Structure 1
């Protein structure tokens, strides 16, 4: 009987000590999660002058934008600085071929009507849906790509302001567009 009593106490002791380790493990996991969240919080606004901030701006703004088979870009806003080199990579993360679900990225000059440009682009299949008579309306553009493909271009960001970008494949501009803000 005494042995049975000691066995029960030993079993209880082992159970309590193992559970304590699990609590500590859960606590450590919670700390790791909180650390990750804290790193994602925004920092306080800078009190530096505009000239000091310009010195901190990277020479090259690397932008990756994805288009899919549902006619959507993953970004609808891109921000860069005037005069900065922009290295933009367009990835078509869908599977459909360029003939039926092609995507490109076109940055229009200020004041160009996106819908008018897209209408003209519908008749420019042989030119990658960039109308030859409207090339003066374009700051930069990628070629047309299909599912699983990607393309990278480099260009210099224009003057401060807000510009529009779109996919000029027929029917895509309504859903595949966004704002390109130059600070």
Structure 2
């Protein structure tokens, strides 16, 4: 009898979204133009995903600002170039650019910002890159986001 109850619990737990699914992450950027995480995995059972960016450095936004921008891998190079032209008043992002899946605002040392986005915007098998769009940062401040 106990074995049947255990089997029923196992089957039931497999049928619902896992309670341990990580539907949020925190990433840090510093004054050395580095993110502390190179890969973020989003569980496909999440409806929304929240990314929190913490700038652990001391430099001001004008000198060493960071943001977190998510896009398809194939779009990153052109998107980063276009974003740099948008300027600091627009957080180095082009308003309404469809290539941007999600982004935080540009922050300076000691600041934090978060963004929550709909996981249905991600497709299984697609390659995604996150990066900082502050001019010159995107080449080194980037990582991979995976839908799993």
Q: TM-score range by the shorter chain?
A: 0.7 to 0.9
- Equivalences for 1:24-63 in 2 at 5 Å? 52=14, 55-58=17-20, 61-63=23-25
Q: Give how far 1:111 is off.
A: 3.1
SS at match of 2:139: coil
Match of 1:102 among 38, 58, 65: 65
| 3-state SS, counterpart of residue 14 of structure 2 | helix
Aligned to 1:40: none
Q: Is the 8 A contact 2:22 2:42 kept in 1?
A: no
Tell me which residue corresponds to 2:137. Answer: 172
Where 1:122 maps in the other structure, the secondary structure is: helix
**CA-based RMSD:** 2.2
TM-superposed CA distance for 1:82, in Å, is 2.8
Q: How far is the alpha carbon of 1:55 from its aligned partner?
A: 2.2
User: What TM-score, normalized to structure 2?
Assistant: 0.80
Counterparts of 1:82 and 1:166, CA distance in 2: 21
8 A contact 1:69–1:94 mirrored in 2: yes
Q: CA deviation at 1:160?
A: 1.7
TM-score (norm 1): 0.66
Aligned to 1:70: 32
Cα distance change on mapping 1:83 and 1:128 into 2, 3 Å: farther
Alignment length, in residue pairs? Answer: 133
Instruction: Point out where structure 1 has 5 or more consecutive residues left out of the alignment.
Output: 1-47
| Deviation sequence 1:114-148 (CA, Å, 0-9, x none) | 22211111111131111236x10011000000000
With over 3 angstroms needed to count, the CA separation of the structure-2 counterparts of 1:81 and 1:53, relative to structure 1, is farther
CA distance in structure 2 between the aligned counterparts of 1:171 and 1:58, rounded to whole angstroms: 37
Structure 1 position 83, deviation (Å): 5.6
Structure 2 unmatched ranges of 5 or more:
1-9
Q: Which runs of 4+ in 1 moved over 3 A?
A: 57-60
